[in-house]
Structure 1
């Protein structure tokens, strides 16, 4: 596999969303360090949006976070799509490509990230597909722990399942701290224990986002709100264990004034420098 550049550590990023495009183009130097794109949303895009992507890619490193590979699915991997992704990653010299530890297709695309059963069979199945994807991409893949609301079967807990997949596939982890918190509340486990059980050498990046408080025992991962204080605290604990890995602030809709996103990015920088969450 080819040797790729790395995102700077520490560093902060934002998702390249069309609703943020003008703000990202006008941002001040130092507001953020990298941009994350979903390759399937940008492959082959021309016109004004394609030109904006090229201009921003000349100014900022890109990372890629996929939406439709369906690593845990039963249908064969889309080899043509993987080849297109490889061309995109090579063209923009992308240092990090991640996908979800879930599935999103059956007889067609399901437009949702569905949880895998936490079983030995599922470990072997998804690990084999990750290895196949890595061979085609010519680079290591990072998988992201996802939020889930119903568990199809659990012969082991989530962190044991995740570690088993990482080891068998020999891939990396994109640690979504908000998902750890949401799952911990919804399924009744300790988020600090989850972090403590993850193998540190596997974590290559982090995500942090807002969620919706449906109740004290039900949190919904939305990417449409500000980051909650409890998640900031958990992010600080993740940095203490894994180091100040490149971290993306996820915001997909309900965009506030750009200055509010910059304030959240500054909070990430503060925590990466060893500071405590303020407020």
Structure 2
């Protein structure tokens, strides 16, 4: 049995909401996203509960721990498990972060890369290796970061564009991350968006963040989406077209019904540009 095509507005599939979703999936949630690390090798009961949803709804597989920018060897065993997991549940898309998160063990954070030619070569080789194992192109998510590397040789947009081209991969565009970085590093988010390659965009994320200071935002995924980020999503659809877009909520998770209006807002903006 094949799940329907990926489209519309989605929500992260959280165990916190599992009981409520089993009672009824609210209208307007078109798809879900899971982190494979949280479900691979799970107990039989949890696997069966997940399967009951993947047979009815499209799912995106969004990785957390592949560490594409890391220096230790790529975890090919994990990639093999992800490949099997995606085929088992008919998941068409796998995405990961343009970052690193391991050094002979997990660091439990998504850390930025220096914007250098050497970093490009390193990450491109690892993306190609991952794509060869998965036998498909992956989506690469632009990361939030808080410090600029002192050895940067180019700007962030050039760095992202070069990697996407040389690895021949897709862009998983996190709209909130663009806004967070624009505040933290004092650049224009709309101008940054215009530099990204429309032809490689495949998937979008929306999320909230924490404002620690006027010039410091922390990408927590623990708050409601704010108006400037909604405006940036509107601009993204206007510039790039409408793509499947997910609402992330990974911290300070409210009841399911409190997230439905934000999913509906994504859908509202999508309808605005559907023509």
TM-score (norm 1): 0.93
Structure 1 residue 27 displacement after superposition? 3.1
Match of 1:154?
152
1:198-217 matches, cutoff 5 A: 198-217=196-215
1:246 to 234, 241, 244: 244
* Contact in 2 for aligned 1:5/1:95 (Cα 8 Å): no
Q: CA deviation at 1:151?
A: 2.4
Hey, what does 1:68 align to over in structure 2? 65
- Asked if 1 retains the 8 angstrom alpha-carbon contact of 2:54 and 2:90, the reply is no
| 8 A contact 1:6–1:96 mirrored in 2 | no
Distance 2:93 2:156 in 1: 24
2:112 equivalent to 1:112? no
Note the C-alpha offset of 1:106.
0.9
The residue number in structure 1 matching 2:74 is: 77
Matched residue of 1:45: which SS? coil
8 A Cα contact 1:102 1:114, kept in partner: yes
Q: What are the ranges of 5 or more consecutive residues in structure 1 without an aligned counterpart?
A: none
The residue number in structure 1 matching 2:189 is: 191
Q: Indicate the residue corresponding to 1:7 in structure 2.
A: 6
Q: Provide the C-alpha distance between the structure 2 equivalents of 1:99 and 1:217, rounded to a whole number of angstroms.
A: 27
TM norm structure 2:
0.95
Give the SS at the match of 1:59.
coil
Distance 1:270 1:132, change over 3 A: same
Q: Is 1:130 matched up with 2:120?
A: no
Provide the residue aligned with 1:264 in structure 2: 262
* 1:91 pairs with 2:85: no
Question: For the residues of structure 2 that align with 1:273 and 1:5, how far apart are their CA atoms?
Answer: 19
Give 1:213-252 correspondences, 5 Å limit. 213-252=211-250
Say whether the 8 Å CA contact 1:210–1:221 is kept in structure 2: yes
Structure 1: distance between partners of 2:106 and 2:127: 19
- Structure 2: which 5+ runs fail to align? none
In structure 2, the CA distance between the partners of 1:60 and 1:6, relative to structure 1 (3 Å rule), is closer
- Deviation of 1:5 (Å): 8.2
Count of residues in Structure 1 that have an aligned counterpart in Structure 2: 270
What are the superposed Cα offsets for residues 21-64 of structure 1, whole Å, 9 maximum, x if unpaired? 12222334533011100011101112432221111111211111
Q: Identify which range, 182-191 or 151-160, moves more after superposition.
A: 151-160
1:43 equivalent to 2:40? Answer yes
Q: Distance in 2 between matches of 1:268 and 1:99?
A: 22
Deviation at 1:6, TM superposition (A): 5.0
TM-superposition CA deviations, 1:144-184 (whole Å, max 9, x none): 00111112232111111000100010000100000000000
Q: Distance in 2 between matches of 1:5 and 1:105?
A: 35
Note the C-alpha offset of 1:241.
Answer: 1.1
Secondary structure in structure 2 of the residue aligned to 1:273: helix
